[in-house]
């Protein structure tokens, strides 16, 4: 397949295509319209299931528990997910609520329609995910991502995972990425980047099989970056991590911002200002 005019969409942007506001969705569509092919990957597909569909199921179960009363369900979720460790799950759950608000209906009366939306996402969400892009890259062989249902969260509990062969075929690229992360001082290292550097050392120096470290769960950003090799443009919200990967892989990075998307051209990557 010719990826010459393609843009890779990561998990953060794919989620917004489902639960972003109308303005956000319009902005994303405008950016994507400038490319000939939209692309994502199996690990993004897995993260969509783990982050979005799992939370949709949580909201649906909470709605049923509260007799389809949306107001009571919202209070229940806020109470149950109040711990800081649940920040991401709470954020996605609230976005699901915002997307499921029906014009002309009081929250207390909209339960049946809201449940219908949640059931539709659970039944057809992956089918819709696949239809929103021109191509899903499958070269990582992520066993979890290949499943057409919410399933395992880890390589070590997934049958038919081929991530070991995928990484083994990219040793040169993985070595280059490790050296870049080790020596680069322009971009600050987030905890995710530090974890990626350690994981690469585990794979390349200590001989650990990638699948034993559950990379789609523990270093998803890095695995997605490797899946995107050869795609000229990378679309993300996670600029702090992606600036490392896009720079070493010579990709143009488009960062979604509410104030307008920002573009860092690959040709100017040696002088990119850092996202901090």
Return all residues near 234 (Cβ < 8 A) that are at least 6 apart. 7, 8, 10, 225, 228, 242, 245, 246, 251, 252, 253, 254
If one counts every other C-beta atom within 10 angstroms of the C-beta of residue 127, the result is 9
* pLDDT class of 152 with cuts at 50, 70, 90: confident
**What's the pLDDT at 159?**
72
What average pLDDT is seen over the chain?
90
Residue-range domain boundaries for the chain: 6-271
Residue 4 has pLDDT above 90, yes or no: no
Task: Give the per-residue pLDDT at 106.
Answer: 57
pLDDT, tens digit (0-9, with 9 covering 90-100), for 53-76: 999 999 999 999 999 888 888 899
Rounded to whole angstroms, how far apart are CA atoms 158 and 144? 6
Average pLDDT of the segment spanning 227-232: 96
Question: 3-state SS of the chain: helix, strand, coil percent to 5?
Answer: 60, 10, 30
With a cut of 80, say whether residue 218 has pLDDT above it: yes
Least confident of 9-23, 149-163, 229-243, 252-266: 149-163
How many residues would you count in the chain? 276
Residue 200 clears pLDDT 70, i.e. is over it: yes
Average pLDDT rounded to a whole number, residues 208-227? 90
Residue 229 has pLDDT above 70, yes or no: yes
The pLDDT value recorded for residue 108 is 55
Question: Among 237, 226, 231, which residue's Cα sits nearest to residue 199?
Answer: 226
Provide the pLDDT for residue 266. Answer: 96
- State how far the Cα of 209 lies from the Cα of 235, in Å rounded to an integer: 29
The phi, psi pair for 270, rounded to 5°, reads: -70, -15
52 or 97: which carries more pLDDT confidence? 52
Supply the pLDDT for residue 129: 95
């Amino acid at each position: 397949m010719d990826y010459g005019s393609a843009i890779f969409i990561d998990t953060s942007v794919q989620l917004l295509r489902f639960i972003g506001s109308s303005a956000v969705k319009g902005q994303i569509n405008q950016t994507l319209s400038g490319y000939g092919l939209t692309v994502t990957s199996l690990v993004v597909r897995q993260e969509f299931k783990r982050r979005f569909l799992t939370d949709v199921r949580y909201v649906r179960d909470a709605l049923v528990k509260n007799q389809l009363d949306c107001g009571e369900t919202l209070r229940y979720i806020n109470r149950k997910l109040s711990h800081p460790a649940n920040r991401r799950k709470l954020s996605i759950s609230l976005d699901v609520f915002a997307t499921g608000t029906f014009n002309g209906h009081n929250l207390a009366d909209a339960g049946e329609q809201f449940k219908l939306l949640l059931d539709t996402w659970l039944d057809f969400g992956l089918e819709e995910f696949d239809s929103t892009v021109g191509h899903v890259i499958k070269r990582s062989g992520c066993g979890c991502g290949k499943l057409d249902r919410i399933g395992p969260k880890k390589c070590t509990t997934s049958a038919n995972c081929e991530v070991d062969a995928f990484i083994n075929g990219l040793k040169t690229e993985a070595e280059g990425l490790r050296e870049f992360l080790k020596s680069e001082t322009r971009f600050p290292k987030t905890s995710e980047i530090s974890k990626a550097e350690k994981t690469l050392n585990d794979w390349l120096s200590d001989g650990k099989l990638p699948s034993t470290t559950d990379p789609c769960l523990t270093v998803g950003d890095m695995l997605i970056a490797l899946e995107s090799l050869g795609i000229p443009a990378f679309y993300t919200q996670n600029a702090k991590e992606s600036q490392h990967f896009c720079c070493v892989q010579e990709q143009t990075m488009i960062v979604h911002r509410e104030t307008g998307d920002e573009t860092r051209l690959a040709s100017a990557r040696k002088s990119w200002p850092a996202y901090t």
